[in-house]
Structures are given as structure tokens and as C-alpha cells.
Chain A
């Protein structure tokens, strides 16, 4: 399979090099929002949308920056784009779906500091993806983030009913669970060579 075929880029971002479990991007929301299945799905929807928009913007901004030979402004421009996209999503949701807006609450503005989104924009720049490849990469990364978050939320909801030692309750147990999930995802490493 060619390394730059669209299908491979999608599969690579989603499963083989899952953003959360093997590249360690977006760990904060992964640990913070994965307590309930309901919020986890909504959060991943919002992240997927922001990823798609910011990846598209990042592609065009990079073209402009390269044209003017001012690449050192890249980081500042990207983060500004992401922050404004998040603001846009927030206003849009408030107007058209107030229920969802209230449900997401504080997590919505926190997407700005989600490293998965900035990481996505940086990676697509380093790998010099074309426009179509960037969009597919963003879709794959969003799907991978959602997959990891929903899997984790399912596991944690079941763990609520079990008796765990008091010292392991909370963050420690979540991290060890994440380690086991990450081990499972390592099994995909061979796909596509």
C-alpha cells in the first residue's frame, strides 16, 4: 500500500498511529471527559468538527506563510486560527443547539488547549500533505480520537460498579487502563508496513 494513498492516511491516523493512545495527543480531555459515555460522544463530535475546520484553515495559512517566507509565524497563526474556530463553534452551538451547548459546558472552550488539534495542524505541515490529504488526515484523527474516548468511557462506566482498592481509584486506575488499551492498539502496528 502506498504511504500517501488517502485510505492509508485515514487508517494510519485513526487506528495504527491513534492520536491518543500511541502519539499521546489530547490526553487531557481523554482523562478528563471520559467519565461518562454521553459526554464522551458529544466531546468527540465537537473535536472532530474543530479538527476539520482548523486543518482546512491551517493548510491555506501555511500556503500564504510560505509564499511570504515568514514560516516563523506559523505557530502563532495556527493557535490563533484554532482559538477562533473554537469560538465560532461555541457561538454556533449556543444559537442552534442550546441543549448541547449546556451539556458540553466548560469542555468547549478547553478544546483550544487540546494538543491533538494543534498537533494535527503541525503534522500535516511537516508531512507536506496536499489539501485533500489534509482533510482525510483530519477526518481520520478525529475518528481515532472519538474511538479512544468512547472506548475509555465505556470501560470507566463499567468500572464504577466494581470494588477497586482505594489508592487506585481515580487517575491511577484510568492511566493503567489507558496503558492496556494502548497495548491493544500496538497490535495494529504492522498494518500497511
Chain B
């Protein structure tokens, strides 16, 4: 398996996290922050950036230290590494914008238990070289941020009638406020998954048709 992993071209390592193995839409990892802080585009963007930073830094460190970490305590070591970077991010966000810090609440500190980060450390960074681990982390982190953005955009536009704080529809718009409340998070993510499943099914059906056509004709 490690042979197969090292033979994929670097570009593929980067691209796969963005779409084909998207952590949110395909692997359903790290759901808690995705649902909780995607009620506006700004929050989603900040959360995506924070997660991207923690993921990249911890993957780099894990890949660097992979020969020194004993097998038995590896999970505990990864968690401590992740917790260190999360503490850094927590203090940085608090220093940059207190409003943002209040809006994200405990979810910045909860990046520690985002299963996607631990999952990438265990499944990829601990088996690959540093540059590949960085590429993988960047791809996965961007894919995560992209998914957060998709959710945040839909929820803010429908639930608040605005995008990044700018009013879109004017004063006569009646906001669909359930969308920024907790149930909206579940619904919007559910509908995105439905759309992706539909697209996948259609492209598979089309491919099947293409394969069958020469034989049939």
C-alpha cells in the first residue's frame, strides 16, 4: 500500500483532497465545525483558514518526526502536536479580532478533536515524506475550507439575505431564518450531499452508456 501511495504523482496528492476525496462531502469527516460555524461566510472562511493552518503545520511536524515517534503512543503524540498548534491559532485569532473570536466560540479550540486532522496524520503524514505530507494537507485543508464556504454561502444568503455582510435583496426580503439556526445546517449539508450524489449517479450512467454504445451499435 505504501508503494502505491508513493507512486502517485505529487499533483494528484494535492488535487484529490479538493474534490475526489473531499473530507466533508466524500468522507464525512470533521462534521462538527462544518455544521456549527457555517452560519455566515465570514465565520466559515475564518474556520477554514484556521483548520488549514493547523492541518498543514501538524502534518509537517508529524512527517518530520515519524521515525522518532514510538508506535504505541503515536495517537497521543499526534494529539499533543495538534493541540499545540490549535493553542497558537486560538491566541492569534483572539489578538486579531475579538468579534470573530466570540462568534466562533469554543469551536476554535475544538479543532483539536476534528477527526480529519488526526485522520490525515495517521493515514498519510506518518507514512510519507515531508513535501508530500504538506501537499496532502494543503489539498485536504483547501477542500475543507471550500466545503465550509459552500455551506456558509447558502446559509447566509437564504437565512440572512446577505453575502459577507452586504445586503443582497433589499429591505423587502423576508429572511428564511431557520437556515442560520441549527436545523438549517443539517438541511443544507444534506441537500449538498443529495446534489453531489445525483451528479455522480448521472456521470456514472453516462459513462456506462458510452461503454455500451459501440457493442450495441
Binding site for B on A (CB under 8 A): 21-28, 31, 72, 75-76, 79-80, 83, 109-110, 112-115, 117-119, 122-123, 126, 166-168, 171-176, 178-180, 182-183, 186
Contacts and interface: CB of A to CB of B under 8 A. Distances in A.
Given A24-B31, A113-B118, A119-B106, 20 more contacts: A22-B182, A24-B182, A25-B32, A25-B36, A26-B32, A28-B115, A72-B91, A76-B84, A83-B76, A115-B110, A115-B114, A117-B113, A118-B109, A166-B201, A167-B197, A167-B201, A172-B194, A172-B197, A179-B185, A179-B186
Nearest to B31: A27
Interface of B: 28-33, 35-36, 75-76, 79-80, 83-84, 86-87, 90-91, 106, 109-110, 112-115, 118, 178, 181-187, 189-191, 193-194, 197-198, 201
A31 B32 CA distance: 11
Contacts of A109: 75
Contact of B109 (A75, A110, A117): A75
A102 B197 CA distance: 34
B36 A79 contact: no
Contacts of B110: 25, 115, 118-119, 122
A77 B84 CA distance: 11
Given A172-B194, A182-B183, A186-B181, A76 B83 contact: yes
Nearest to A126: B106
A23 B210 CA distance: 47
A179 B183 contact: yes
Given A113-B115, A172-B197, A182-B186, A27 B35 contact: yes
A1 to B, nearest CB: 23
